[in-house]
Amino acid sequence: MGWTGDAQVYIRTATLNTDVEAFFTKWLVDLDDGQRADGQYPCVAPCVVAGDDGGPGWADAGVICPWTVYEVYGDRRVLERHFEAMQRFIEFCRKRSTPDLLPPEQFHCFGDWLSLKADTPKEVIYTAYFAHCAHLAGRAAAVLGKTYEAESYERLFQGIRDAFFRTYVSADGRIKGDTQACYVLALAFDLVQGEQAKLAAKYLVEDIEKRGWHLSTGFIGTKHLMLVLSKIGRTDVAYRLLHNDTFPSWGFSIKQGATSIWERWDGWTPDTGFQDPGMNSFAHYSFGAVYQWMVENVGGIRSAAPAYKEILLAPQQDPQLKSASVSYRSIRGQIATDWQEKNGQLLFKVTVPANTTAEVSLAAESASEITESGHPLDRAAGVQLLRQEGANVILSIGSGRYAFAIRRQH
């Protein structure tokens, strides 16, 4: 079944696993075919079960998926083809919301599906996704040269963000519901800023800590959880979640013999055995969305422009990891990183495809600590020193293969 919520939480990771452009090009036609006359998208496309009201976090696939396909593969046609349907959906959301851009009294929503002992208010999810889709629709309009629509959607985004802040954020920075997913969505979609963002980040980490350094998020929250932890400068906490092998965690299922991602964190536990057999898949991709974080942070490979025309290479290291190797066959060719700690040095090998440029961030106090293929940086072919940024040296490189070595001071 083409569940729309599952599609939108996983699509970015799907692009990192295989070439899904043709698949999603076709599926997005199915999704538009299932769109109601009033603009709402269904739960499933093709719309054969579960009804035509996807609800927050599910229906939003109609905006998130076309934008992601454009971002990864750089083909504007996907936006041209689906922009009118995206507009109809945004207008549907606007019309069913109150004049203050808040949810109506009644609406369908699956919530943060399969979360654990953390009930994220559905109105928080509704408003967060409405804001996010308005923002993405504005970006899509800008790509298509539709200046008026781009400005209109950006104003809408700001209006929804103001409504979110007024309605759900208390004076001490707590967000209604006080769950990990509440803070993750607010931070992922830039719905809190300045001091409020710092407080949201603090409460998120505190909730993880009070659960014995465990997550509580379901499909919606898990997609952004690790990315947000790195965004707020707490990659250390993300690594802690990644290394966990106690319940609930990815490592827990692996410890039980899992060779594929489970639909539920508690698909099987020693205490309760198997979950409800009516819905308990042991091969389900949604919680596998963590692989995006792994590529972007363990491997350090991030796209900085549509279709990886510009790349950011910035691996985030962890004391428990001594080496990591990550590769991605992008639309422009192979992008690869390989790093390892060896003899007091960090060795970092990079492959950058043709017709692209990459910015490389290396943890070093000064450029003099770094060599490339044995040469000082000022004599390294294809390498340009851009700046020192705190404890990181920022370089620019063109296509090719590079072998950096960084001397450790300790």
Domains of the chain: 4-296 (1.50.10.10), 302-407 (2.60.420.10)
Q: How high is the pLDDT of residue 50?
A: 81
Q: How high is the pLDDT of residue 344?
A: 87
Provide mean pLDDT across the span 6-27: 97
Give the model confidence (pLDDT) of 354-381 as tens digits: 999 999 999 999 999 999 999 999 999 9
Q: How high is the pLDDT of residue 110?
A: 98
Count of beta carbons in the 10 Å neighbourhood of residue 113 = 21
> Is residue 307 pLDDT above 60, yes or no?
yes
Q: How far apart are CA 325 and CA 323, in angstroms?
A: 7
Q: How high is the pLDDT of residue 273?
A: 95
> How high is the mean pLDDT of the chain?
97
74: alpha, beta or left, given left = phi > 0 and alpha = psi -120 to 50? Answer: left
Give the model confidence (pLDDT) of 137-150 as tens digits: 999 999 999 999 99
Q: How far apart are CA 60 and CA 135, in angstroms?
A: 12
Q: How high is the pLDDT of residue 263?
A: 97
| 118, 112 contact by CB (below 8 A) | yes
Helices marked H in 256-359: 290-293
Residues of the chain with pLDDT > 70, as a percent, come to 100
> Is residue 343 pLDDT above 90, yes or no?
no
Count of beta carbons in the 10 Å neighbourhood of residue 185 = 33
Q: How high is the pLDDT of residue 409?
A: 60
> Is residue 410 pLDDT above 60, yes or no?
no
User: Sign of the CA dihedral 361, 364, 368, 373?
Assistant: negative
> Is residue 111 pLDDT above 90, yes or no?
yes
Q: What is the DSSP letter of 174?
A: P
| 160, 131 contact by CB (below 8 A) | yes
Q: How high is the pLDDT of residue 130?
A: 98
SS3 350: strand
Provide mean pLDDT across the span 132-137: 98
pTM of the model: 0.96
